[in-house]
Structure 1
Amino acid sequence: MAGRSISDAVGRLARIAAWLAIGIAAISLAYVIAAAIGGVIPRNAAWRPPPQGVTIWIEDNGIHTGIVVPQQAAGIDWRGDFPGSDLRDARFATHAYVAIGWGERGFYLGTPTWGDLRAMTLLHAAIGSDDTLLHVEHIPRPLTGSQVRAVTLSVAQYRRLAARIRAFRGSGAALPGYDAYDAFYPAHGRYDALHTCNSWTGDTLAAAGVRVGAWTPLPSTVMRWF
């Protein structure tokens, strides 16, 4: 009898595990489908890049997307927001551009590449966290390619973009980045499965008036517009 009870309990646990696996797979599939739909519905559908203005870039490292802006343009100077003294090597601050992204602290610090992704890190970020960061890299002028796209904004659009980014900068000191040329900064905003680093990129571009998807939680849903 004891053996049968143990066997029954193991069977129930196996069935529960199977249903959980099916449920997780179904939720994941629904999320990807919703992202694909949200990613093709445009915001600012009438927007077109102006013939002249400020060039920015949208970049994708396979996990995070970010926005690359000139250190100084159209009356916006990022040197006061993200000074070279925050870097491990201040010489990198002489580069003419900064790449800016937003994300959940644990996810950002723990997943610089896909190879670093862990299930618990992903789960914690998806559930939601108010502990968010801006990631800022001091870089040379980007080279366009499959993972870096150039976009021209009008001066007014660029200033709106800058105001939106600055609104996410929290108080507190910078944190060390992945390398000598980057740093993290405390940020505002709640990260969860609906509000990801990539949807932040899309929302920031949309706030500037740029045509982009209605919901852009994945890198592909951002990059397809540029």
Structure 2
Amino acid sequence: MAFAWLGSSIPRNSGWTEPAHGVEIMIETNGIHTAIVMPLVNAQKDWRADFPSSDLPTSDRPYTHLSVSWGEREVFLNTPTWADLSLPTAINAAVGGDGLLHVAHYVRPAPSDTARVLRIRPEEYARLVRRIEAQILPSDRRRVYAGYEDWDVFYDAPGTYHLGNTCNQWTSDALAAAGIETGLWTPFPGGVMKWVPAPAP
């Protein structure tokens, strides 16, 4: 825990500042896992071809945003709640498990302390998009797996999950690749969220 705190406190892209105008994304957490929330469509990217709403049980809602994250396959698919996490599954994830993308579709998500708004420059968002696109397999090479609700799904994705490459590290690596200030090693969600300003009370 001490090493994680220290590692997450070492900045990447030190000196980055949030612009007055730009693309608004959100960094969200459920207390264990983090994800990046982005506009479904804007001038830089239309995500509907990569993550079509037709993959969802409820495809007819007026979705405006999507949340993308990456994690370990067995943990994602077999632990709908953390009470379902077994010791063998946890050990397997820690030493090396297959990657999976989790994509949730939202309608006008509201900011909160667990879903913090981050404004970034269009060119930074374009780099963030390219980073995430590199994790998307062609439709003929990936399976679609049912999510936890009727508005989220999982997709096969490249990468190996382990203690040095966790779901939260994936989030901070994506932000760093875009040029945004974040921590160096962020195995836990707090190491990601502390770099994103909390909303004003």
**TM-score under structure 1 length normalisation:** 0.82
The farther-off stretch of 71-80 and 196-205 is: 71-80
Structure 1 residue 115, shift from structure 2 partner = 2.6
Structure 1 residue 174, shift from structure 2 partner = 1.5
SS at match of 2:161: coil
Provide structure 1 residue ranges, at least 5 long, that are not aligned to the other structure.
Answer: 1-31
Q: How many residues align?
A: 193
Structure 1 residue 98, shift from structure 2 partner = 0.2
Aligned residue in 1 for 2:70: 102
* Residue 225 (structure 1) aligned with residue 190 (structure 2): no
Give me the CA root mean square deviation. Answer: 1.1
Name which of 98, 102, 109 aligns with 1:142: 109
More strand by share: 2
More helix by share: 1
| Partner amino acid, structure 2, of 1:125 | A
Aligned residue in 1 for 2:42: 73
Higher relative contact order (CA 8 A, sep 6+): 2
| Partner amino acid, structure 2, of 1:58 | I
- In 1: Cα distance, 2:9 partner to 2:33 partner: 19
- List structure 1 runs of 4+ shifted beyond 6 angstroms: none
Kept in 1: contact 2:8–2:184 (CA 8 A): yes
Aligned residue in 1 for 2:85: 117
SS at match of 2:108: coil
Which residues of 2 match residues 11-160 of structure 1 at below 5 A? 32-92=1-61, 94-129=62-97, 131-160=98-127
The farther-off stretch of 142-151 and 36-45 is: 142-151
SS at match of 1:189: strand
Structure 1 residue 146, shift from structure 2 partner = 1.9
**TM-score under structure 2 length normalisation:** 0.92
Identity of aligned residues (%): 46
Provide structure 2 residue ranges, at least 5 long, that are not aligned to the other structure.
Answer: 197-201
| Partner amino acid, structure 2, of 1:201 | T
Structure 1 residue 144, shift from structure 2 partner = 1.9
Structure 1 residue 206, shift from structure 2 partner = 0.5
Larger Rg: 1
Q: Taking structure 1 as reference, are residues 134 and 140 closer, same or farther at Cα in structure 2, changes over 3 Å only? A: same
- In 1: Cα distance, 2:135 partner to 2:3 partner: 26
